Structure formats: C-alpha cells, structure tokens
C-alpha cells in the first residue's frame, strides 16, 4: 500500500500543542519480543526484485536503494500498528530443511499489507521476492517462492545502517505554520516512539504529533528555524538530540542529515 508523502497534511490536526519537557523512561537492555515467534510469509513484486516502490511508511524512493534495497517488508496491522512500527527490523526464517537454509533474512518494515493473509489479526510478512528467496538453500530460491504461503518464525532485531546517520526529510506541503518530518536510518529500535522539536532561540522542547507512517508534524507559527529535533525510541526509550539539524532556510522535500545515530 503506497501513501504519498504529501498526504500527511490532512492528518495533522490543527490543535494548540502544550509545551512540555521530555521525560525519558529508563532504557531497557533488550528489544521486546526478541524471541522467535510463529508467523506466515508471502512475497510480492518481481521474483528477484526489491519489492514495491514507496510504501505506507512514506520512505519513497529510499526503498529502491541500499540499505533498504532487497530488505523491504510489508507487515500485517498487528506489527504495522498504524505506522508506529515503521522502520522496525525483523529476522525472518523458514524451517523446511529440504528447501530452507539455516540463514534468517533481515527485513525493514516499509509498508503495510492490510488484507488477505494479513487480515484477521494474523502476524504476516509480505516480503520482496529477493528477501523471500534469501531464506532458501543456495540455488533453490525459485522452489521456495513456489510454496506460496510459508510458515516462518520471526523475531525483532536491532537495525544497523553502517555509515549512515539519522536524517530528517521535510515532507511536501510543509510551511512556516505546518512542519512535517519523516525519520530515516534510525539504528537500534528503528521505530520512533516520541518526537520533539525546539525552535531557534528557545529552550523548550515541543512535542510533535505522529501523522502516518514514519512522519511527524507540528502546527503553530510562524515557526522559526534552525530546528533541533529529539527522538525517543519506542521499544527501549533511548533518546537522541540533533542540534540545529533543520536549517533556517529549509525547504520542502529536502533531506537534512544529522551527525548522530544510536550505534
């Protein structure tokens, strides 16, 4: 399911946000649900392809290039969780020794599959053809894809983007009164639980609202850059603050890379 980045405008409610200081929960040592659990999996797109373009998380063309390329996964609503699950990483493994290798494939949540095998509260992964085939014994990728719906096991795993720092894409339609940011390349949890922003000349962190997918927004204004952004991860409550990462002369559809990441 693909949602254009510009569609986030309608979802950001025009409300007055209270100004609060972020209270950081104590970080946990491990990601939750890190033990193997049962699920099912299918694949989509070209047999050796990287999956669909874009997706409901809003990553756009990022899914076509490394580090996302061939690691794309659409998940059922129980894992997508209205977009909060975007960016989370999972290891997925099949167990039929006749065609499955011992290797698990690591996939990044970039999309949602809301119907079919993904409905009814099921835990399901709809993987790119390339990711699905990587679970097979060498040379048997096509045999595995011919199986159709495949029983698998899965578990959470830390996201790793070597050489990448967290980046913020300014969504189309952003103005000095409505600013929407999409988070990219978050190591560790991979998913954002809270997001706060601080304007130029201010000491106060203002909470942003989750819009859809991996996008967050703030209403008000006129908003004054440069902006600092603080992330709190959803699973372990770790925080990271990128100072003045969005410049005063920012522009819609531009991406601004921080100097930081969790690893």
| DSSP assignment string, 198-218 | E-TT----EEPEEEETTEEEE
Domain-wise residue ranges, the chain: 37-156, 167-257
- CATH placement of domain 37-156: 2.40.40.10
d(CA 109, CA 79): 9
Report pLDDT for 190: 94
Closest by CA to 174, choosing from 246, 252, 256, 59, is 252
- CATH placement of domain 167-257: 2.60.40.760
d(CA 90, CA 155): 6
Beta carbons of 60 and 54 less than 8 angstroms apart: yes
Reading the chain (263 residues) residue by residue, the pLDDT tens digits are: 444 444 444 445 433 332 223 233 333 345 666 789 999 999 988 888 776 677 899 998 888 888 887 788 899 999 999 999 999 999 999 999 999 998 999 999 999 998 889 999 999 999 999 899 999 999 999 999 998 899 999 999 999 999 999 999 999 999 999 999 999 999 999 999 999 999 999 999 999 999 999 999 999 889 999 999 999 999 999 999 999 999 999 999 999 999 999 98
The reported pTM is: 0.86
Report pLDDT for 26: 34
Beta carbons of 197 and 208 less than 8 angstroms apart: yes
Please state whether the peptide bond connecting residue 222 to the residue before it is cis, i.e. omega within 30 degrees of 0.
yes
């Amino acid at each position: 399911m693909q949602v254009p980045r510009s569609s986030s405008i309608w979802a950001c409610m025009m409300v007055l946000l209270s100004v609060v200081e972020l209270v950081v929960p104590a970080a946990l040592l491990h990601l939750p649900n890190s033990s193997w659990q049962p699920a099912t999996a299918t694949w989509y797109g070209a047999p050796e392809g990287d999956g669909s373009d874009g997706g409901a998380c809003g990553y756009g063309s990022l899914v076509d290039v490394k580090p996302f390329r061939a690691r794309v996964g659409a998940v059922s609503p129980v894992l997508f969780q209205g977009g909060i699950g975007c960016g989370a990483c999972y290891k997925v493994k099949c167990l039929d020794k006749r065609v499955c290798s011992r290797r698990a494939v690591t996939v990044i949540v970039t999309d949602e599959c809301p119907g079919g095998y993904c409905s009814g509260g099921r835990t399901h992964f709809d993987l790119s053809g390339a990711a699905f085939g990587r679970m097979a014994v060498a040379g048997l990728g096509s045999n595995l894809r011919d199986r159709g719906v495949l029983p698998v096991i899965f578990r959470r795993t830390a996201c790793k983007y070597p050489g990448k720092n967290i980046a913020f894409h300014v969504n189309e339609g952003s103005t000095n009164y409505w600013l929407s940011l999409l988070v990219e390349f978050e190591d560790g949890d991979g998913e954002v639980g809270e997001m706060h922003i601080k304007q130029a000349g201010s000491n106060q962190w203002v909470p942003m609202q989750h819009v859809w997918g991996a996008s967050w927004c703030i209403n008000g204004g006129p908003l004054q850059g440069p902006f600092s952004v603080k992330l709190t991860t959803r699973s372990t409550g770790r925080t990271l603050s990128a100072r003045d990462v969005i410049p005063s002369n920012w522009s819609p559809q531009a991406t601004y890379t921080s100097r930081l990441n969790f690893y």
